[in-house]
Structure 1
Amino acid sequence: MMNEAGFIFSPEQLKYKFSEHHPFNQKRLILTIDLLEKVNALDTNTILPARMATDSELLLIHDEDYIRAVKDASAGKTTASFATKYGIGTEDTPVFPDMHEAAAWLVGGTLSAVDLVFEHGFKHALNLGGGLHHGFRGKASGFCVYNDSSIAIEYMRRKYQARVLYIDTDAHHGDGVQWAFYDDPEVCTISLHESGRFLFPGTGSVNERGTGDGYGYSFNVPLEAFTEDNSFLYAYEKIFREVTKFFKPDVIITQNGADAHCFDPLTHLCGTTKMFFEIPKLAHELAHEYCDGRWIAVGGGGYDIWRVVPRAWSALWLEMTEQTSILKEPIPESWISRWQSESKETLPTSWYDEDSICPVIPRRNEIKRKNERTLQSALKSIKERRRK
């Protein structure tokens, strides 16, 4: 019910803005919140504030010299080596004023979500400003300065002694989170993503299974380009159920990138909004089955900010709060009319896409078969662990 879930947002999260033309656009948050308000699923009184993460919290994952470099860049103090050494000032992750503070607010939003679940009686919590899964300990990457999910996981490990399952359905591999816990048997990571043969960051093969004591606790399902809903959801449900049963987490954290959609300009998958309505259902179910309901969700990628992201992310909140009957109703005309002229797109009138949204896809059955073989390979380490 409504009092079981907390929605985290503060206006400071909107300041994470590289430029007017950069694909990572936090206008997505405004559009999503407005859509939820228009369907009476959220109001300003139920939105809970984020906070700015402290330096000591950032240091749970990031190196001290890297944080210092981000602060220097935020103040306009950069050198030519910043791009190569720290990943700051690249085309993907350019410098912008007050970058450190803006990124720390996104991290603080995810930490606020964690505390809602572990300290304040909430079953679920959502921070759509989070999900920056490419950030590394000492380097920015792929639009991500600080890695809020990795920091939140380490925060849960230390403060609440939690055994954490992280699952990432962004079209891009959740590399930063995976590598942060690659040798840790108390953190299990799953990533379903477009194969690195076609898409940044080029990692996330089925053979990346962890190392040392963490071997067998990293799972990757690299999907073929042009993968559609049914193939994606089959792999998602199969690996999520199997791994959760195997790992038995105390809490589930989901990264909910919306860039596996057919309309997304940066990827090559062929999902529809139906896929994004199904993804949180299973997370909700498994959180109650294994974790006493403890489910923390963050945003992530998603670059069709007008037609796709508001619907996908709204559906995530509607699932958390058991208001999915709203998906049977039309998109409110008041929302469409507010954003139509600014969007320069024909905004959808329905939550669901038409079945014919994806173009004719060659080798459709071959893609499904390849994804099935990849899934079976990804699950091998569970069998290896059970034999031990």
Structure 2
Amino acid sequence: MSRTVMVWSEDLVGYDFGAGHPMAPVRLVLTYELLSDLGVLDTPGLSLVPAPVASDAELELVHTADYVAAVREAEEDGRPRPERGLGDGDTPVFGRVHTASARIVGSTLAAARAVWDGDAPRAVSLAGGMHHAMAQRASGFCVYNDVSVAIAWLLQAGARRVAYVDLDAHHGDGVERAFWDDDRVLTVSVHQHPGSLFPGTGYPQDVGSAAARGTAVNVALPPHTADAGWLRAVEALAVPLVRAHAPDVLVTQHGCDCHRDDPLAELDVSVDAQRRSMTLMAELADTYAGGRWLATGGGGYEVVGVVPRAWSHLVAVAAGCPIDPATPVPESWRQMVRDLADVTAPLTMSDGGDPEIRRFTDGYNPDDEVDRAIMATRQAVFPWHGLDPYLD
């Protein structure tokens, strides 16, 4: 048995909205090449498996049959389907829009199968994390919602409970909506305040339907929240709630658009803090989910300096061989970047910080806007789990 599976196929870069679109597939290529040059892909116990194209039946675990048919038709004729969210500036129609999107779902499903069937306790789907797509429409660069399909598959396969932690700068609205009525699935989203960022949802009072109160969890952070506050929010919500939910599998989304250099969001989080959040997710999976951890990528639009380093850390953490942040970025990779884009790549795998997590229960500061955001969510959600917002 492998320790960790990474799902990878060169065809995954076929998810391509065209020149100038923020969701540039080169981010996946650069990540793979950095993993290779760092030697992470040679880690004992790390196995690479191919990404298949998900079947219509698999897509329809979450998406409606008429929506899947509409995406197929858009691939065939190239025409926008505005009523389906296809063809606007965010999510334009491209030549293989169904096939490439279904392959991303297949990637995350392959990772879910590896974890649930016992092939590996941990699995990574770097191309996954398309958390905005809804059952009947595309949204926010996302055509199909691979995360929701994988969670639905896990439940169908026998998982009693699943916990999902979304660390993207944008609210994980599509996943939350898919399981709004299902108390078996805990969705925790740590994101920039929806009053200042797409998709404009994810307020603390959004806690799930009457059938699933407290299983939708949203912490809305003020713009420019930096490492200390961001990590404090992740710890203050994810740790006690995952512990209380006691999932069979932990699913996480690691959109790195929370980074200070990302052009589409306004958080101020370093690669180092993101790496620390990844080690925390690994610890949560080991402690509360029987070691079963499925991690995906997500957003991230600074495609040279941020995405490859952040996701290389993710794969390395999942593989049980975390990269020392002081590790130099291989010169071979930096040269490739210069040749490809005529830009200067970072020198090390760090942004120069060494962030620690300040536990929320060590002291709440009502004068701090991040602490107030955290407390608003804890007060809205914790009582539904029998937890004390001030103590647990």
Superposition TM-score, scaled by structure 1 size? 0.93
SS, match of residue 138 in structure 1: coil
Q: Which amino acid counterpart does residue 347 of structure 1 have in structure 2?
A: A
Q: How does 1:186-205 map to 2 (within 5 A)?
A: 186-205=184-203
Residue 377 and residue 34 in structure 1: after superposition, are their counterparts in 2 closer, same or farther (change >3 A)?
same
Asked if 2 retains the 8 angstrom alpha-carbon contact of 1:14 and 1:27, the reply is yes
Which residue of the partner structure matches residue 76 of structure 1?
Answer: 77
Mapped partners of 2:27, 2:65: distance in 1: 31
Q: Which amino acid counterpart does residue 55 of structure 2 have in structure 1?
A: T
Mapped partners of 2:153, 2:53: distance in 1: 15
Mapped partners of 1:252, 1:263: distance in 2: 28
Asked if 2 retains the 8 angstrom alpha-carbon contact of 1:224 and 1:367, the reply is no
Asked if 1 retains the 8 angstrom alpha-carbon contact of 2:337 and 2:343, the reply is no
Deviation by residue 1:124-158 (Cα, 9 ceiling, x = unmatched) = 00000100000000000000000000111111111
Deviation by residue 1:3-22 (Cα, 9 ceiling, x = unmatched) = 31111011121111010111
1:178 lines up with 2:176 in the alignment? yes
Which residue of the partner structure matches residue 356 of structure 2?
Answer: none
Q: Which runs of 5+ in 1 are unaligned?
A: 356-365
1:67 lines up with 2:80 in the alignment? no
Asked if 1 retains the 8 angstrom alpha-carbon contact of 2:179 and 2:185, the reply is yes
Q: How does 1:46-125 map to 2 (within 5 A)?
A: 46-76=47-77, 78=79, 82-83=81-82, 85-125=83-123
Mapped partners of 2:153, 2:247: distance in 1: 15
Q: Which amino acid counterpart does residue 195 of structure 1 have in structure 2?
A: H
Deviation by residue 1:277-332 (Cα, 9 ceiling, x = unmatched) = 10111111111111111000011000000000000000011111222244332111
Which residue of the partner structure matches residue 360 of structure 1?
Answer: none
1:78 to partner: Cα distance: 3.0
Mapped partners of 1:53, 1:86: distance in 2: 20
Task: Find 1:130's aligned residue among 128, 131, 143.
Answer: 128
SS, match of residue 246 in structure 1: helix
- Number of residue pairs aligned between Structure 1 and Structure 2: 374
SS, match of residue 386 in structure 2: helix
Q: Which runs of 5+ in 2 are unaligned?
A: 354-364
Mapped partners of 2:314, 2:225: distance in 1: 21
The Cα RMSD (Å) is 1.9
Which residue of the partner structure matches residue 382 of structure 1?
Answer: 382
1:38 lines up with 2:37 in the alignment? yes
Superposition TM-score, scaled by structure 2 size? 0.92
Mapped partners of 1:87, 1:137: distance in 2: 11
Q: Which amino acid counterpart does residue 369 of structure 1 have in structure 2?
A: D
Task: Find 1:237's aligned residue among 235, 238, 248.
Answer: 235
Flag the structure with higher helix content: 1
Q: Which amino acid counterpart does residue 70 of structure 1 have in structure 2?
A: V
Mapped partners of 1:51, 1:384: distance in 2: 39
Mapped partners of 1:295, 1:141: distance in 2: 26
Mapped partners of 2:155, 2:129: distance in 1: 18
1:162 to partner: Cα distance: 3.4
SS, match of residue 219 in structure 1: strand
Residue 213 and residue 271 in structure 1: after superposition, are their counterparts in 2 closer, same or farther (change >3 A)?
same
1:387 to partner: Cα distance: 7.8
SS, match of residue 201 in structure 1: coil
1:282 lines up with 2:280 in the alignment? yes
Mapped partners of 2:20, 2:336: distance in 1: 21
